Structure 1
């Protein structure tokens, strides 16, 4: 195998693959030759400045380049008949993703997309349960890292939750509305989207890369009960009605005063049953994802996250971006629109801190 792109995330792909006993990491590629050499030296492999020499030297490849290069690199390996794991988002456009899917189908090789949250043990446990989501809240917030500046919060962060929603809810999304803002002068940095599925499910999805403290959680309300995932702590909380409540209902108005007084202490336990599951902290999602890909290469199994899954998440992300661009901040067509068109501030929320000097960016 080889890893194409060994920056912040790619070097971890390379490290894990180099330490798997059944994998021979024959090379790492990076546009920065110093970075390629540093990673290769540390892992005992060969550095390359371009990927072409590896086309006929590998049986599988992991592509962790900036998104703008995903299609050109992945298509070259797929044309050579090499199975591909490509980081999310799968490509810049749906058309590029469709091309990769067609190439993989023609070559009859796996194409897997790196939506790593599908390998979070809390999410893996949730999908085993018979839950039909009808209202969902997804939050993915974190501090600004300075990475992935070629894309915004939708393709960098929110796409994880869009992929999981499509996997959980199923069906098509009928309507999308969204609002978001540019803070650092490039792409959108904070986004809130409302998704209405054809099957009646409503999802509120937020993403921000300018939050001081990280938060990644998913909350689901369904006829079967409630499920909540904290992706940071890998905890899954499940709540369901007791068999008694499902059969007879819970009529508070018909309870006597003493029973009603005890209700607040008994509601969670007697009437609503709670199960808290803590995932194995030693479980590494990236290792699980890479092992799964290798297994698919060896056995011909269909990847958990296929090229089509990546394509569908990207298509939904594009719909969110389209909705962002047309949002009227003042509620009228004549007013400012889009994440970069915020209205002029009415004033300061508190007296501003006086700076001795402001350096131009």
Structure 2
């Protein structure tokens, strides 16, 4: 592997731009290429950062050492498999795919070639900075609310795969038990999919998790409450309030840490460290992303059945 990695981004939308800027600024990597089916969009992202625009995927792969996939979710698996077939480690924005079967194909293909696959559940970085992932107790209850107004982005997937999946990943990370049931209710919006959803998930341990996500709300809201046997943690991310009644030392000022200020940057750095062999794994592995996807799809099925 070259000392300075050549980074490439598939997808020249908003998230593609975010990722391109990370490759342009991080240590030991340069932005080499941006691929998009619309060459003018690729050029708008790549050229100001010193990269080249591509609309031919094979030529793009020849120009890069590592790949980020920031295209619409419906293309994630197909493009990840193409990157892996070209011998490239890959960072896939969430969700890793839109079916578990496709996600497993990505994981298996990467495993066969010994390539790193990371997934962009960047919220994991913030909870690490908080210290929540180091609490030595199993949770009893989690309540997560994530609301926002319509934005026009990620319209190819539901609010479950777009928004709720972040909190599903957190619940799965906090609990050593597996989920056993999922129930849900929601509303179909302008996207033709579930743009608002509320789900209740029970785990083998008795842990209960309640998720409320919407991208058709009048205003932004983002709160979380996690109850442990010894106390609870309650956070309003927008108001900046933090209440901790557990005996565990959590960082109420976690938002001021470098990682929490730039969770995407920390996540991409973790991917690059794993590629270089400086870290044993990325922040979120393919297998962890598959667990979150599997639970998200179970919730979508529950929503469809409630219909």
Q: TM-score, normalised by structure 2?
A: 0.91
Q: Report the alpha carbon displacement of residue 130 of structure 1 after superposing the two structures with TM.
A: 2.0
Post-superposition Cα deviations, 1:294-335, rounded to whole Å, max 9, x if no partner, equal: 1110016212211011111111011101100111xxxxxxxx
Deviates more, 1:115-124 or 1:295-304: 115-124
Matched, 1:285 2:260: no
Whose helix proportion is higher, 1 or 2?
Answer: 2
- TM alignment of 1:247-286, pairs within 5 A: 277-279=252-254, 280=256, 283-286=261-264
Q: Which ranges of structure 2 fall in alignment gaps of 5 or more residues?
A: 1-6
For the aligned residues, what is the CA RMSD? 2.0
Alignment partner, residue 186 of structure 2? 180
- Contact 2:127/2:133 (<8 A) preserved: no
Q: Report the alpha carbon displacement of residue 21 of structure 1 after superposing the two structures with TM.
A: 3.6
Q: Report the alpha carbon displacement of residue 217 of structure 1 after superposing the two structures with TM.
A: 2.2
- Contact 2:146/2:214 (<8 A) preserved: yes
Matched, 1:200 2:210: no
Alignment partner, residue 106 of structure 2? 100
Alignment partner, residue 354 of structure 1? none
Looking at structure 1, the residues matched to 271 and 185 of structure 2 have their Cα atoms a distance apart, in angstroms, of 36
Q: Report the alpha carbon displacement of residue 52 of structure 1 after superposing the two structures with TM.
A: 1.7
Alignment partner, residue 316 of structure 1? 295
Distance 1:158 1:38, change over 3 A: same
Whose strand proportion is higher, 1 or 2?
Answer: 2
- Contact 2:228/2:246 (<8 A) preserved: no
Matched, 1:295 2:273: yes
Alignment partner, residue 305 of structure 1? 284
Looking at structure 2, the residues matched to 50 and 149 of structure 1 have their Cα atoms a distance apart, in angstroms, of 25
Q: Which ranges of structure 1 fall in alignment gaps of 5 or more residues?
A: 242-272, 328-337, 339-361
Alignment partner, residue 28 of structure 1? 34
Looking at structure 2, the residues matched to 133 and 17 of structure 1 have their Cα atoms a distance apart, in angstroms, of 37
- Contact 2:32/2:50 (<8 A) preserved: no
Is the partner of 1:151 in helix, strand or coil?
A: coil
Q: Which has the larger radius of gyration?
A: 1
- Contact 1:10/1:64 (<8 A) preserved: yes
Looking at structure 2, the residues matched to 12 and 114 of structure 1 have their Cα atoms a distance apart, in angstroms, of 12
Distance 1:309 1:236, change over 3 A: farther
Q: TM-score, normalised by structure 1?
A: 0.78
Q: Report the alpha carbon displacement of residue 136 of structure 1 after superposing the two structures with TM.
A: 1.0
Looking at structure 1, the residues matched to 290 and 251 of structure 2 have their Cα atoms a distance apart, in angstroms, of 34
Alignment partner, residue 122 of structure 2? 116
Looking at structure 1, the residues matched to 47 and 208 of structure 2 have their Cα atoms a distance apart, in angstroms, of 50
Looking at structure 2, the residues matched to 234 and 160 of structure 1 have their Cα atoms a distance apart, in angstroms, of 19
Question: How many aligned positions are there?
Answer: 297
Q: Report the alpha carbon displacement of residue 124 of structure 1 after superposing the two structures with TM.
A: 4.4
- TM alignment of 1:1-361, pairs within 5 A: 1-120=7-126, 124-184=130-190, 186-232=192-238, 236-240=242-246, 277-279=252-254, 280=256, 283-299=261-277, 301-327=280-306, 338=307
Post-superposition Cα deviations, 1:233-287, rounded to whole Å, max 9, x if no partner, equal: 666431137xxxxxxxxxxxxxxxxxxxxxxxxxxxxxxx997711216521111
Is the partner of 1:127 in helix, strand or coil?
A: helix
Q: Report the alpha carbon displacement of residue 120 of structure 1 after superposing the two structures with TM.
A: 1.4
